[in-house]
């Protein structure tokens, strides 16, 4: 009987110890983002305030900020606001990390780059971990853009390259065989589109993440990604349009 009581007490203590030491984590992936430094600052300050409220004012966690400038990672060993860092007008990689063991919020990572945008939060309080991860996802998704990132560029590039190249071969053969030189707009549009897909630095126009020190006052520069997509769509639409215009002139 005593052995059974002793065994139950040991099991209870072990269960309590495991539950007290359990750590919860949340990982959320994000779409392509485009934002300004002051907008990111507001999110970092909000995150810092949430961590202080969850862990207490005596928290001494380690915070680091990494900024990717021209392919080089610059690490700042403390919380530094994006607007206070001297960097070119556009940065394509930024990360924030917080670490402090045995706390309700023990780890926070905001990793924003071209190939991956991810927020991960872990800690001993499941409610606070979930609340902070949801808050970060909600705040960052406000600056989501429909186009951008390595995966988007790769899929779109392969599809458009095949489309323009196929159109170039078919339309060139059509013009040559029919001697219908009024339809030269088809191979011309196809060639221009194919060259644009190959030669334009799309990683600058359609990045997975871009952080602006300040927004450009010029509309075309500020909306370069949207304008570049519209240009490609216009060239793509010009191929069938050239064909129908040539047919209409031939029938006139």
* 3-state SS, one letter per residue, for 142-190: CCECCCCCHHHHHHHHHHHHHHHHHHHHHHHHHHHHHCCHHHCHHHHHH
Q: Which long-range contacts (CB under 8 A, 24 or more apart) does 49-52 make?
A: 50/105, 50/131, 50/132, 50/135, 51/98, 51/105, 51/108, 51/132
**Residue that finishes a domain, picked among 83, 113, 141:** 141
pLDDT at 248 over 50: yes
pLDDT per residue as tens digits for the range 98-144: 998 888 999 999 999 999 999 999 999 989 999 999 999 999 999 99
pLDDT per residue as tens digits for the range 189-235: 999 999 999 988 888 888 999 888 766 555 666 667 778 888 888 88
In this prediction the pTM is 0.77
Inside any domain, residue 40: yes
Which residues constitute the domain of residue 65? 23-141
pLDDT at 164 over 90: yes
Lookup: tokens for 13: 């203590």
Beta bridge partners of 117: 112
Inside any domain, residue 16: no
Domains in the chain, number: 2
E strands, the chain, in order:
24-29, 33-36, 62-69, 72-76, 90-91, 94-99, 107-112, 117-123, 209-212
Inside any domain, residue 70: yes
Nearest-angstrom CA–CA distance, 132 and 44:
12
DSSP 90: E
Lookup: tokens for 137: 């996802």
């Amino acid at each position: 009987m005593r052995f059974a009581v002793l065994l139950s007490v040991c099991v209870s203590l072990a269960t309590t110890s495991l539950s007290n030491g359990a750590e919860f984590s949340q990982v959320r992936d994000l779409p392509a983002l485009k934002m300004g430094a002051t907008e990111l600052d507001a999110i970092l300050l909000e995150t810092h305030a949430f961590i202080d409220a969850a862990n207490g004012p005596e928290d001494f966690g380690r915070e680091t900020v990494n900024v990717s400038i021209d392919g080089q990672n610059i690490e700042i060993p403390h919380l530094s606001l994006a607007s206070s860092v001297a960097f070119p007008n556009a940065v394509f990689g930024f990360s924030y990390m917080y670490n402090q063991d045995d706390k309700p919020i023990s780890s926070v990572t905001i990793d924003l780059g071209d190939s991956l945008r991810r927020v991960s939060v872990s800690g001993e309080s499941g409610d606070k971990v979930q609340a902070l991860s949801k808050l970060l996802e909600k705040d960052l998704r406000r600056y989501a853009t429909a186009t951008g990132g390595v995966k988007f560029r790769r899929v779109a590039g392969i599809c458009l390259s095949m489309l323009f190249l196929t159109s170039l071969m078919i339309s060139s053969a059509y013009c040559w065989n029919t001697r219908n030189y009024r339809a030269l707009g088809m191979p011309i549009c196809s060639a221009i589109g194919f060259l644009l897909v190959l030669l334009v630095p799309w990683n600058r126009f359609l990045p997975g993440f871009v952080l602006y020190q300040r927004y450009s006052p010029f509309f075309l520069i500020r909306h370069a990604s949207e304008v570049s997509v519209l240009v490609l769509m216009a060239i793509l639409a010009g191929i069938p349009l050239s064909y129908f215009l040539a047919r209409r002139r031939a029938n006139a």
